[in-house]
Structure 1
């Protein structure tokens, strides 16, 4: 008997159509699920398509929309500026638009690995501060605008970016403290992380609105958006700390021990050897957390901050366009989907790229 006789027979590779057919009807269970799915789509898609497109009103007035059974996309055209920018003064709306472009440009640069340098870390607080100045104004240079007039997409992007950028350094410190040999510091870190992860974000927002002002000295106040940002950053840091801790555990202890034998101190070891590897490993996880945090900013509506969702809800309460909530929510859902789906695809691309670089 030769070695060839011992090899198992090789089956011909299945084509794309064969694999597709086997996936749908490879067994009677697959066939039942496929047929049930097709029946559900036939029942749902035609009336939904008719409401969304065929019977929809694309231009006109609210009365013309109510005369038809389809969606009123004329409402979106009429209220688009309000949904995106809320109550910001019309003659100054170039400022929130510019702030959105700056934030999107910063996010695009951050997504490209070739820009992962020290300058990018410096650009984050600089761009966020510039966006805040554009929104709030600067006496003598830009007309001041009160934060209760802010709203829409700029508020969502600025709060999300500022809170995430603030939470990440704190998360690194919490993760290091949780792995520390100092028992008291480790217990404090564990207690903070588990406390924050054990309460809902809505409760944190109510603390920012109701409890945090009581902690300020008498006669002093803090802007509502700033209070919300502080508490959200502290809340998100607990979740990011666990992601970073997973990256720290992925770095072999031998590398830290080898660096210690060379005379490097703890912080130099963390800075030069451990953290660069740990953060590189968990970048896909951080991206996924960032997507979830962006979607969670919709909870700002419960405390009266006119983020994108709350601005859309308020637009449908206009007496001239009263009741078109479905269209408002669908439009906002599409915006969140673009960010969420784009971020998820980017995360998959980045994970493949980093895996390829590690193999090479």
Structure 2
């Protein structure tokens, strides 16, 4: 593994210029927009930022070589005001630890552990190199996605690989009416972040090891692992996904994320949990939900779990006790009280009458 310690005078763009020419920065002196051009079918980039310890490290991994380097905050004074950039490839950012501030077009978002975003080639963006975090980037060329689509044929139409939103970004780029769309995908775990990371860490480690081995068949294993990564992101019980147009309003975007979390948990989510997941004050989230739905967070969640309770009563043979457990209630009396208030009768009476 090649290692370089960067002097105080060098910038991040200079660092990338000196690295192997797998990732080249075009118009590096631009203060408004840069283009990162990938010269390999794919790259994995591990970025670690420790502002308190005054260092940033970057580890590039491709089929041909690896490149590791480190620079200091004190030696790079423009960390906060980096220009936005675009890629000649698709970029997947997955947060392993800490929190990352990401500037996407004219908006700013914070991503925490287990969260992920996928940028198409038209999106201008830039992660802010500040604070403490570790992020893995997957940079993927068209040819790599094309091979995945060709090699992973679906067993049935309902399991088609091209239904994955990531594959859809690639297919849209081939459509003359969609190729200039500014679209990105936003993934949020609906399970605890530690559980999501526990599923994905072994896959990431496996990918890195297979690339470094450079043995026969390594690329096949890599493609399989990457396909499994996309499948996990596309599993509703694990992740919710938003396909976002870059011109969507910030509040509308936040509201959609709240809705996904609430629906995935049958409406049984605390305000504190939403604050932790979305990095916004609970009262602010409450105002946004009220603006778009006309209901408070509590009322909105209640509507969701009552509708789910009604569906389970009518469409399944589950017992009342099992339904209460399924919906996450520890207080049976509270559930009965809320249900009677909404429907005017007990759950059992409602089922029998229907």
Q: Which has the higher contact order (CA 8 A, sep 6+)?
A: 1
Q: TM-score, normalised by structure 2?
A: 0.21
Q: TM-score, normalised by structure 1?
A: 0.21
Q: Which has the higher helix share?
A: 1
Structure with larger Rg: 1
